[in-house]
Copies of this chain bind each other. A is one copy, B any other.
Amino acid sequence: MSLTNASPEAAARAAKLGSRKLAVLPTQARNDALTAIHEALAKARDQVLAANAQDLAAATKSAESGELSQSLVKRLDLGKKGKYEDMLQGILDVRELEDPIGKVDVRTLLDDGLVLERWSAPIGVLLIIFEARPEVIANIASLAIKSGNAAILKGGKESTESFKVISTVISNALSSTAVPNDCLQLVTTRDAIQPLLQLDQYIDLVIPRGGNELVKSVKKSTQIPVLGHADGLCTAYLRADCPASVAARVIVDAKTSYPAACNSLETLLVDDVALTDLLPSVAEALLAKGVSLRCDAPSKTALSKVLDAHSAALLQDATEEDYRTEFLDLILAVKTVPQTSTPTAALDLAVAHINEHSSHHTDMILTADETIARKFQEAVDSAGVFWNTSTRMADGQRFGFGTEVGISTNKIHARGPVGLEGLTIYKWRIDGQGQISTEYKAGGKQWKHQKLPIATHERIAATDEELAVLRSFREGQSERRNGT
């Protein structure tokens, strides 16, 4: 890793050149580099935590004067119980994942002796812009090396001291491995973000890891593709046939287990036939956890009738704006889906509301009816469409990806939790024996376009009837092999 005060352009160019060396390293060489990083960071624990304490002291002072938020100070703290160990374990977890590079997923016989294959390959150079969390550096370094990508890391100034030490440790560790140091660039230069975002000749993908404002400002400033999500406005649609205990349990989890997370619940849609029997127990469970409920008129009226006076007094009125708001707090907007002629028509109204208002991150339906659930999952245009489980399940670790790069609300490339696979693209290989395009014109040779088993890797031989040029080509090969 280069801890660099070099210009953004020099850093990006070095990363690009390094990326091509990294891209051709075998699996074992990339895994060995992760082992080396893990060992070095385990040994350097005290040194890293001492630097982190410096960052933490400065941040605490800034927080006291109101410049920084308390939650940022918390995210900065690497010494918190188990956090350093989690960071170390994350490196090993990534190492143990299947190699995402060099996998063949398409294999087509175009013609005799002419085989097309699609191979997974690294994207190239990633630019990761992140805010306070210092563990991201180890996390991203692991994911980048495992997937054969170079990475340029630009962190928040609050964690400068931690980054300097971590990057020096990683740099020393890498020098004993086959991974070129240039493949990881930590840019400490101030005001480097804007110049980096202009370097589309070197950088292939930008991944902002931070709040909405960071993601939005990055998207506005670059022609490089951006992988990230700006908002997480998640919705639950509660049907009358969902058992009350399940409804309360799942909705409480989705709303309260981590209200500041992007996969937390922000809006509850409820069928009007569920207002009196089912909604009250859900509302009581939420109120007991300190959640403010912003209700439309039908749901407020129904709840007011059955809740005790104390609870009823806590209910608030929802505005239209509430259904477009990512609260990131213990607030839930509640909206009634009016009963219509058919149960499916109510579903359609709920789906239309979600497609119009949600941020297409993750939405869930709570129902005992599989047919309704399937229609919901098909019609809702979101990265995650969950049935009878919490929106909080939208997470790379829970999906089994190991560490996650982030969660994408993009509609192309990668959607939802993004793991190693989201850091890959593919190449098209063709192995031929001298075939040319004009042979396949109208009246000429016919394309075979036959799907081949992906596992078969022997080269497909041409038939005896093949064209003279193929024969001469093989003769040429064989003459050379025989040294004639």
Q: Chain B nearest CB: distance from A88 CB in Å?
A: 16
Q: Which residue of B lies closest to A227 (CB)?
A: B412
Q: Does A290 make an interface contact (CB < 8 A)? A: no
Q: Does A417 make an interface contact (CB < 8 A)? A: yes
Contact A257 B388 (CB under 8 A): no
Q: Chain B nearest CB: distance from A173 CB in Å?
A: 26
Chain B residue numbers with a CB within 8 Å of A338 are: none
Q: Does A156 make an interface contact (CB < 8 A)? A: no
Chain B residue numbers with a CB within 8 Å of A481 are: 368
Which of A355, A417, A437: most chain B CB closer than 10 A?
Answer: A437
Q: Which residue of B lies closest to A412 (CB)?
A: B413
How many chain A residues touch B (CB < 8 A): the figure is: 88
Chain B residue numbers with a CB within 8 Å of A164 are: none
Q: Write out, one digit per residue, whether chain A residues 221-246 have a CB within 8 A of any chain B CB (1) or not (0).
A: 00101010000000000000111011
Interface residues of A in 399-422 (CB under 8 A from B): 399-400, 410-417
Contact A472 B388 (CB under 8 A): no
Contact B116 A20 (CB under 8 A): no
Known: A110-B400, A249-B469, A368-B480. A435 touches B389 (CB 8 A): yes
Chain B residue numbers with a CB within 8 Å of A461 are: none
Q: Does A429 make an interface contact (CB < 8 A)? A: yes
Q: Which residue of B lies closest to A432 (CB)?
A: B389
Q: Chain B nearest CB: distance from A476 CB in Å?
A: 3
Spot the interface stretch: A43-51, A132-140, A373-381. A373-381
Contact A385 B429 (CB under 8 A): yes
Contact A368 B416 (CB under 8 A): no
- Choice from B220, B388, B400, B477 contacting A108 with Cβ under 8 Å: B400
Q: Does A124 make an interface contact (CB < 8 A)? A: yes
- Choice from B382, B398, B437 contacting A392 with Cβ under 8 Å: B437
Chain A residues in contact with chain B, CB under 8 A?
20, 23-24, 108, 110, 114, 116, 121, 123-124, 204-205, 219-220, 223, 225, 227, 241-243, 245-246, 249-250, 252-254, 257, 351, 355, 368, 370, 373, 375, 377-379, 381-390, 392-395, 398-400, 410-417, 425-438, 440, 447, 449, 459, 469, 472-473, 475-477, 480-481
